[in-house]
Structure 1
């Protein structure tokens, strides 16, 4: 095999230390230089200077959790070619594993150029990605708390969810606050909280509230959940404010993505935070879809196709694009049905149940 990088460094990354091995293949027999560094920032700077002293501008490390990020930050903009590889591409042979051998194995593989690089966007995009992923987590937390609050009402024989579309709407929230208060209330107090445009009948609302059985401690627990929901809402507002400030430089790209049917502003920001603004990392759309976890892999041996799973490595992008996929599928289905109704009205009429 042809040696692509005559000087290549393999790095075995751990939480508290790294082991680096520089492979110099400028003669028939390769030469190896090994050194160990701590993951403290001053030691990582020494690691960077050690690479520069040995004229090594090609570094490869495996993406070990979050431990590789400080190393990558120290090398970024100082070392020209830093590759972060999926562990499956640099996995060592069993029985031949230790820190020094792992780093040497990575260097040996990397010098031939056979190690695929993971996509690492520029720093501004990485920071935006941290915010959008945190926003996604906060939304999930809020949904869990809302479900917990709804369950508390259900176990207390409060059936407001049967008469209101949204238990956290204006009318339902006012009624729930009245129920959770320690003050006695009447039917008139409940009905006074209902908004004038509410479509539910007064009889159904009173029936849903009648018989509510929540003791003092159940009410206090529900109030705690309410406070947590309000706190998460405030955090989401703060996170959204920072996201809006960070995406000012990408407004043109956001508007371009929003021109696609089904892409909202929030979805456009998520796509940019995960993919960046330069998609040249992927040679075609199919590879990008596979990287995003929206396409199954290829697993074939001896002419037999084996089962494959869809990757879940980028959950936020996966959900955003999956929603778009479902929307476009509905649009295509509706267009097909409309075409059938136009071209074959008699057949379509017979297929519609009476």
Structure 2
């Protein structure tokens, strides 16, 4: 079979160790050299030096959890690094049962049989970390709101049946008043603003429940947690906006697509980067979701 890369290496990545198999020509013969490194930064730098000393040009590894990321970060810019979906490697026929993972990856790489996952450049990867962290916090906020509503239902407080958004300004005033336990339901209903003022009688009934001390405590904890999450989301959004400022024109163009607002536009740009020349066609871009390594 034709050799595509003469000097290349396969990496078998684990939490604490990296097994490496280096393939290179010597005196007209193909040679194999194996070493094991720890995943501590000094040892990964030793791995990088070892590969460079042997003239290695290409390296491949499976997208194992998040363990590939530090290795990729240290090798990027020094070697061509491929991160490959584990299922793709398993699907290639011809593997012998006694061959080591690193050796098999190196062999496939040498003969051009690996299809790399799309890894954005360093800048978009940083943005992706930020947007994904923000998405995680937004999801957590939704879960805490659900727990808050469960606590209210347990106390027979039916605020969610009247207010369309229990975290709206008016509803939050009512929730904090419930925690204090100092006002009558009709007085709390007077916190209603805008269109909700027409529902004050219904609100007074909804705010009449069987609220126990532990309900008030849990409600206060949930509200504090939600507030903390919202502050963290705002800080992340500010950091994301700052880093995306040079790409404002691209964001505005994305927002012209029906259904895409600013936050989603930021996520799209963070996931694929601003350089569309990486994608030969719209179909290649549409298939990206299946091949991005490390996706949840």
Corresponding position of 2:122 = 123
Give how far 1:128 is off: 0.4
Mapping 1:303-314, distance limit 5 Å? 314=295
The root-mean-square deviation of aligned C-alpha atoms, in Å, is: 2.3
Q: Secondary structure at the match of 1:61?
A: strand
- After superposition, the Cα gap between the structure-2 partners of 1:45 and 1:190, relative to the gap in structure 1 and judged at 3 Å, is closer
Instruction: Name the CA distance, whole Å, in 1 between partners of 2:26 and 2:4.
Output: 11
Give how far 1:131 is off: 0.6
Q: Secondary structure at the match of 1:262?
A: coil
- Indicate if the aligned counterparts of 1:60 and 1:110 stay in contact, CA closer than 8 A: yes
Corresponding position of 2:81 = 82
Unaligned runs of 5+ in 2: none
Give how far 1:290 is off: 2.4
1:285-313 residue CA offsets vs partner (Å, 9 max, x unmatched): 223222225xxx9xxxxxxxxxxxxx997
Mapping 1:280-319, distance limit 5 Å? 280-293=277-290, 314=295
Mapping 1:80-119, distance limit 5 Å? 81-91=80-90, 93=95, 95-96=97-98, 101-119=100-118
- After superposition, the Cα gap between the structure-2 partners of 1:102 and 1:191, relative to the gap in structure 1 and judged at 3 Å, is closer
- After superposition, the Cα gap between the structure-2 partners of 1:282 and 1:96, relative to the gap in structure 1 and judged at 3 Å, is farther
Corresponding position of 1:42 = 42
Corresponding position of 1:235 = 232
- Indicate if the aligned counterparts of 2:17 and 2:38 stay in contact, CA closer than 8 A: yes
Instruction: Name the CA distance, whole Å, in 2 between partners of 1:132 and 1:213.
Output: 41
Corresponding position of 1:163 = 162
With normalisation by structure 2, the TM-score equals 0.91
Mapping 1:49-88, distance limit 5 Å? 49-79=49-79, 81-88=80-87
Give how far 1:106 is off: 0.9
Corresponding position of 1:344 = none
Q: Secondary structure at the match of 2:287?
A: helix
1:121-144 residue CA offsets vs partner (Å, 9 max, x unmatched): 111110100010111111110001
Instruction: Name the CA distance, whole Å, in 2 between partners of 1:196 and 1:127.
Output: 41
Structure 1 counterpart of 2:262, from 250, 265, 271: 265
Give how far 1:84 is off: 1.0
Does 1:137 pair with 2:136?
Answer: yes
Corresponding position of 2:153 = 154
Deviates more, 1:130-139 or 1:201-210: 201-210
Corresponding position of 1:177 = 176
- After superposition, the Cα gap between the structure-2 partners of 1:171 and 1:252, relative to the gap in structure 1 and judged at 3 Å, is closer
- Indicate if the aligned counterparts of 2:10 and 2:104 stay in contact, CA closer than 8 A: yes
Corresponding position of 2:22 = 22
- After superposition, the Cα gap between the structure-2 partners of 1:73 and 1:314, relative to the gap in structure 1 and judged at 3 Å, is closer
- Indicate if the aligned counterparts of 1:292 and 1:313 stay in contact, CA closer than 8 A: no
Instruction: Name the CA distance, whole Å, in 2 between partners of 1:89 and 1:188.
Output: 64
With normalisation by structure 1, the TM-score equals 0.77
Instruction: Name the CA distance, whole Å, in 1 between partners of 2:274 and 2:113.
Output: 26
Corresponding position of 1:352 = none
Does 1:198 pair with 2:196?
Answer: yes
- Indicate if the aligned counterparts of 2:156 and 2:210 stay in contact, CA closer than 8 A: yes
Higher relative contact order (CA 8 A, sep 6+): 2
Instruction: Name the CA distance, whole Å, in 2 between partners of 1:133 and 1:201.
Output: 39
Give how far 1:202 is off: 3.1
- Indicate if the aligned counterparts of 2:12 and 2:20 stay in contact, CA closer than 8 A: yes
Q: Secondary structure at the match of 2:278?
A: coil
- Indicate if the aligned counterparts of 1:164 and 1:200 stay in contact, CA closer than 8 A: no
Give how far 1:33 is off: 1.6
